[in-house]
């Protein structure tokens, strides 16, 4: 192992009610988060992201399991005794205080020396590039500026871990992109572990060192953005991150003992990499940008007809109905070589082996 573990979550379950008919908000969740990591919890609304953050912060008690911060069990510690701070979605700034006073607040609560506080506030203002606005009140700031103040205020007491619950979701798209770059920079400069919550898959891919994909109180997969996108281990993960096509079918052995995928209802055999699947009903999953529309020449090409053409600037998306009636989406980058395919064209889809992901049906 490389860096020390900042947070250990061990078999944590959380039930808000004793009703056994209700699914738990967290269902046997385990994860290790290392020092200085930008770790993201990603999943749809209601999957338990906020609950997991709140149990780490100490605002909620776990029903089962254990949480350790820097090796110390903290189940019985109140929030203020954990070196963890939270940035909420609603920035919750004090409206009657200036930017500098907002940032100083937590330090004054700790009873720090005045000079030390002033110095720390200056550092934080510099970190979030807000020195010139130190005297303003929150009402005189834009959404992005308020977000920076909330971040500076949370970082000022030097927490070991910063929890961020959908902090960018109130910002418009352009500002959100800017703040994403800022957040990443601030995290690396401050050298603090971030646990970041979002339901936005692109945001998770862009920012994170690692991502945990959650569904219905469980963590389904933990990995780098590349792992999660390239090697999803569940249909849910594959579908939640990026766009993907699924073809139901079964596997058979070829003459050289290689594995061939046979889609339901098509006389086609697609060579695909072995991944421990055998004979069973499976699904072949592939990303729209990893397969190509071609003229039908090879026996292993999927055949179909173009049903819709969507021009999206950098690329063109083709919705194709295969001969077995399954619809798939293909993506071609617009590089000036556009073939000008139109609705009604008969086409074939080439699926190179590296594009093929097998999943349980
Ligand atoms: N204080 C609470 N009391 C009862 N149920 C709650 C409470 N907070 C959250 N839940 C339930 O727990 C589940 C997970 O919620 P939450 O952690 O807020 O999900 P997320 O942040 O991923 O949207 C949901 O079913 C939600 O309704
Ligand atoms: Mg939430």
Among residues 9, 318, 26, 285, the alpha carbon closest in space to that of 161 is found at 9
Ligand minimally distant from the alpha carbon of residue 169: 2
Ligand nearest to the CA of 43: 1
Interval 79-120: pLDDT, tens: 989 989 999 877 789 999 999 999 999 899 889 999 999 999
Which 3 state secondary structure label does DSSP give 308?
A: strand
Closest residue to atom 26 of ligand 1, CA basis: 46
Residue closest by Cα to atom 13 of ligand 1: 25
Best of 29, 40, 46 to mutate for ligand 1, by most ligand atoms within 8 A of CB?
46
| pLDDT tens digits along 138-192 | 999 988 899 899 999 999 998 999 999 998 887 888 888 888 988 999 899 889 9
Cβ of residue 26 lying under 6 Å from some atom of ligand 1: no
Distance of CA 189 to the CA centre of its chain: 22
**Alpha carbon distances (Å) from 7 to 54, 208, 221, 343, 345:** 14, 16, 18, 53, 55
Residue 51: CB within 6 Å of ligand 1?
yes
Q: Which of 44, 50, 62 to mutate to test the pocket of ligand 1 (most atoms within 8 A of CB)?
A: 50
Dihedral, CA of residue 134, residue 136, residue 141 and residue 146, to nearest 10: 50
Q: Where are the domains of the chain?
A: 5-239, 243-360
Distance CA 108, CA 111 (A): 5
List residues bridging with 271 in a β-sheet: 260
Q: In 3-state terms, what secondary structure has residue 220?
A: strand
Angle at 226 between CA 48 and CA 281, to 5 degrees: 75
Rounded to the nearest 10 degrees, the angle between the axes of helix 114-127 and helix 99-109 is 130
Task: Output the six-digit token pair for 123.
Answer: 């550092």
What's the pLDDT score for residue 6? 93
Q: Whole-angstrom Cα distance, residue 330 to residue 352? A: 13
For residue 131, the SS3 value is helix
Q: What is the CATH number of domain 5-239?
A: 3.40.50.300
> For 183-236, how does the pLDDT look when each residue is reduced to its tens digit (9 = 90+)?
999 899 889 999 999 999 999 999 999 999 999 999 999 999 999 999 999 999
pTM of the model: 0.90
Helices 143-155 and 173-190: angle between axes, nearest 10 degrees: 20
Q: How far is the CA of 46 from the centre of ligand 2 (A)?
A: 7
CB of 50 closer than 6 angstroms to any ligand 1 atom: yes
Q: In this structure, which residue's CA is closest to atom 2 in ligand 1?
A: 16
Longest dimension (CA), the chain: 79
147 in helix, strand or coil?
helix
User: What is the three-class DSSP state of 52?
Assistant: helix
Measured from the Cα of 14, ligand 1's closest atom is: 12
Distance from the alpha carbon of residue 188 to the mean position of ligand 1, in angstroms: 31
- The class of domain 243-360 in CATH terms is mainly beta
Quote the CA–CA distance of 39 and 33 in Å, as a whole number. Answer: 7
Residue 248: how many other CB atoms lie within 10 Å:
14
The average confidence (pLDDT) of the chain is 91
**Could you tell me the distance, in angstroms and rounded to a whole number, from the CA of residue 14 to the centre of ligand 2?**
15
State the Cα angle at 206 between 286 and 179, rounded to 5°: 145
Task: Please determine, for residue 127, whether its predicted confidence score (pLDDT) is greater than 80.
Answer: yes
With contact defined as beta carbons under 8 Å apart, do 47 and 216 qualify? yes
Our answer on whether the CB atom of 49 is closer than 6 Å to any ligand 1 atom is yes
Ligand at shortest distance from the CA of 45: 1
């Amino acid at each position: 192992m490389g860096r020390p573990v900042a947070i250990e979550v061990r078999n944590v379950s959380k039930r808000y009610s004793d009703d056994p008919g209700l699914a738990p908000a967290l269902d046997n969740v385990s994860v290790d988060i290392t020092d200085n990591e930008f770790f993201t919890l990603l999943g749809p609304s209601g999957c338990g992201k906020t609950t997991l953050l709140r149990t780490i912060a100490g605002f909620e008690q776990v029903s089962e399991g254990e949480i350790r911060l820097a090796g110390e069990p903290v189940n019985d510690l109140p929030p203020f005794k954990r070196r963890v701070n939270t940035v909420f979605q609603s920035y919750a700034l004090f409206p009657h205080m200036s930017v500098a006073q907002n940032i100083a607040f937590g330090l004054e609560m700790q009873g720090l020396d005045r000079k030390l506080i002033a110095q720390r506030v200056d550092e934080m203002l510099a970190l979030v590039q807000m020195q010139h606005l130190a005297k303003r009140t929150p009402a005189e700031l834009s959404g992005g500026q308020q977000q920076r103040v909330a971040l500076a205020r949370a970082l000022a007491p030097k927490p070991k871990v910063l929890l961020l619950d959908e902090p960018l979701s109130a910002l418009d798209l352009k500002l959100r992109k800017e703040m994403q770059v800022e957040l990443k920079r601030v995290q690396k400069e401050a050298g603090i572990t971030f646990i970041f919550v979002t339901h936005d898959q692109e945001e998770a891919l862009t920012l994170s060192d690692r991502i945990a994909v959650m569904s219905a109180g469980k963590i389904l997969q933990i990995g780098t953005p590349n792992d999660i996108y390239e090697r999803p281990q569940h249909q849910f993960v594959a579908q939640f991150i990026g766009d993907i096509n699924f073809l139901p079918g079964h596997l058979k052995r070829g003459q050289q003992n290689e594995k061939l995928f046979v889609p339901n209802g098509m006389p086609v055999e697609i060579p695909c990499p072995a991944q421990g699947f055998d004979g069973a009903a499976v699904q072949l999953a592939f990303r729209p940008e990893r397969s190509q529309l071609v003229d039908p020449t090879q026996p292993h090409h999927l055949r179909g007809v173009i049903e819709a053409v969507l021009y999206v600037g950098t690329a063109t998306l083709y919705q194709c109905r295969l001969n077995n009636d399954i619809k798939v989406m293909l993506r071609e980058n617009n590089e000036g070589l556009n073939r000008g395919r139109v609705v009604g064209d008969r086409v074939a889809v080439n699926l190179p082996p590296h594009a093929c992901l097998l999943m349980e049906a």
